Structure 1
Amino acid sequence: MARSPPSVPSKKPSTRSLTRQSGTFTRSTAGSQSLVRGLDLLRAFLPSVPALTNAELAERTGLPRPTISRLTNALVGAGFLVHEAQTGAYRLAPVHLSLGVAFRQTKSELALALPLMRKVAVAEKINVGLSTPDGLAMVYLETLRESRGPVQRQVTAGIRLAIESNSPGHAYLAALDARSRQRILKALEAQHGARWPALRKDIDKSLASHARLGYCRSDAIPGMSAIAAGLRSPDRTFYAINFSLSAKDGDNEPLVQRCAPVLRKLVEDVQRAWDEMARVQAPAGST
């Protein structure tokens, strides 16, 4: 009786092909831990906290002081941090502005979205923002402040907001696939501990709203309501567009109901413009 040929184990797909299929960067080998820690230090600097000492960086990142000292020394030497001799604190070096400009110039979809956002902001007299995720935060890329309402916020491009506490973050979570969303939710749970159940309740409410109405809503700031919807660019980058609404009489509900269809249409218009850009830029013969 002839023997059956030995079975050949199926070849696992490469991480490169997995990245193309999912749109999420995937690699099986570990990256440089020192580099990751150094970048975490840079993320600790915010517009409201422009200078930090080694002790403050250790508190914010949870890394040991000796590790912080080695990293800040390397970052100063590489030109990414500047050391203040009088205070002992560190500040971001000018190179970060160059990196920001380089980022903006490579994102042609922002140039398409901005005129559409400005048209809505001016016509409706509201604030319109565009943000994208960075780790467990949303970073504003554009913000148009046209609201004449009684409640105002100082929000500019570059501001980072925690994903779990705002409507753009919730809209981003709603736009994700289930597996990616669960991974972020687990990271947030580990970060917040006992506070997590209340935060998760708000997130679940927003996810249900996005599925039912096409947008998430937040009323976390007294006197202001925010609504946001998620979308994805042709290169699979996630974004969120949000409206900040504040009625003069203090009742934001009519304003939300009026602007919700406007938000949905704006998202559709931006998505259509991005898809058309991708079609025009696609190589001949591609599908």
Structure 2
Amino acid sequence: MASMHGPDDEHDRNFATTLARGLSVLRAFRAGDDGLTNAQIAERTGLPKSTVSRLTFTLGRLGYLTRPQRNERYRPGPTLLALGHVAASSLSFLDVAQPIMQALADEIGTLVLFAVRDRDKVALVRTWRPRHAASIWLEVGHRLPVGGSSSGLAILAATTGAEFAALLQDRPPEVADGTALADLRREGHRQLMANGYAVVRRELRHTSNVSAVSVPFRSSRLAGPVAFSCGALDDVLPEARIHDHVGRRLRETVQQLQGLIGQNGSPAWTGTLDDEGGLA
């Protein structure tokens, strides 16, 4: 796994490298893990195993990690879980979204997911699986490239100039075909203006046989745009079906959510580009 901070960070006297490394240990855990050993954490973070051992020992003493006796695997501890509940209060709109996003998943027969920007990638925070249809399954915590996923494209296209500059500081991976992120941002914004949803080009997809469509969303509790998406294998969600039905239904469901939480204003991407098509 790549470093969780930019290459210039460690030269900034305000940057606490040990803290950053400790947080990278916590970020290594995924929803489907049955605990992680120090060796597995080292592999996921790219940190030396000796460094990981010191960090997990300290995090364990502080309650952020826990390790049952005679067990080498660490798991999230009570202190980390308590912090998670505090953080979840910023995503309280997901409680409102739960029934309507589940209904959308059941209606169209695809996975519906909610993603946020996580430094140089986008991370899945919530998923809804159709009750009566087989679908792909991506676990919470799964990370996708900004320039190789529809979720990333929607978030990218809805960023303001300042948000885009901050994203670039996290040095996201290059787009597969060499397209500049600024150009991809414009491409996504054009899609949002024309259709109200974004679809990443097939040649840019992180997973070649999975198609998806995404709509950005803003909450006053969050610092930047996030995204709701529908995704499935190509035979379930071909591009024609996205443009004929699924993209529109996702856009309408996100608009419905805005109404339910008393947020009937402009779409998330309004005002992110200046009047001449340049970056705001």
Structure 1 pair 126–63 and aligned structure 2 pair: CA distance change class (3 A): closer
Q: Which residue matches 2:63?
A: 79
1:97-108 paired onto structure 2 within 5 Å: 97-105=81-89, 107-108=91-92
1:261 aligns with 2:248: yes
TM-score (norm 2): 0.70
Post-superposition Cα deviations, 1:48-75, rounded to whole Å, max 9, x if no partner, equal 5544443443443343444333221111
Q: Is the 8 A contact 1:53 1:88 kept in 2?
A: yes
How far 1:259 sits from its partner (Å)? 1.4
Higher helix content, 1 or 2: 1
How far 1:94 sits from its partner (Å)? 4.5
Q: Which residue matches 1:90?
A: 74
Q: Is the 8 A contact 2:212 2:237 kept in 1?
A: no
Post-superposition Cα deviations, 1:229-260, rounded to whole Å, max 9, x if no partner, equal 21111224432010114465x67122111212
Q: Which residue matches 1:145?
A: 129
Q: Which residue matches 2:213?
A: 227
Structure 1 pair 176–72 and aligned structure 2 pair: CA distance change class (3 A): same
Q: Which residue matches 2:190?
A: 211
1:30 aligns with 2:37: no
How far 1:268 sits from its partner (Å)? 2.2
Q: Is the 8 A contact 1:44 1:60 kept in 2?
A: yes
Percent identity over the alignment is 27
Q: Which residue matches 2:179?
A: 201
How far 1:143 sits from its partner (Å)? 1.7
Q: Which residue matches 2:269?
A: none
1:273 aligns with 2:273: no
Letter in 2 for 1:244: G
Letter in 2 for 1:227: V
For the aligned residues, what is the CA RMSD?
3.5
Q: Which residue matches 1:21?
A: none
User: Among 221, 226, 246, which residue is 1:239 paired with?
Assistant: 226
How far 1:89 sits from its partner (Å)? 4.1
Letter in 2 for 1:225: S
CA–CA separation in structure 1 for the residues paired with 2:87 and 2:36: 25
Post-superposition Cα deviations, 1:27-66, rounded to whole Å, max 9, x if no partner, equal x993644333211111012245544443443443343444
How far 1:227 sits from its partner (Å)? 0.5
Post-superposition Cα deviations, 1:129-160, rounded to whole Å, max 9, x if no partner, equal 2222233343333322128777x32224x332
How far 1:97 sits from its partner (Å)? 3.9
Q: Which residue matches 2:155?
A: 172
Structure 2 SS opposite 1:242: strand
Q: Which residue matches 1:6?
A: none
Structure 1 pair 39–50 and aligned structure 2 pair: CA distance change class (3 A): farther
Q: Is the 8 A contact 2:154 2:188 kept in 1?
A: no
Unpaired segments ≥5 residues, structure 1: 1-27, 279-287
Structure 1 SS opposite 2:14: coil
How far 1:106 sits from its partner (Å)? 5.4
Structure 1 pair 198–58 and aligned structure 2 pair: CA distance change class (3 A): same
TM-score (norm 1): 0.68
CA–CA separation in structure 2 for the residues paired with 1:98 and 1:143: 22
Q: Which residue matches 2:107?
A: 123
Q: Is the 8 A contact 2:156 2:188 kept in 1?
A: no
* Higher RCO (C-alpha under 8 Å, 6+ residues apart): 2
Structure 2 SS opposite 1:261: helix
Letter in 1 for 2:150: S
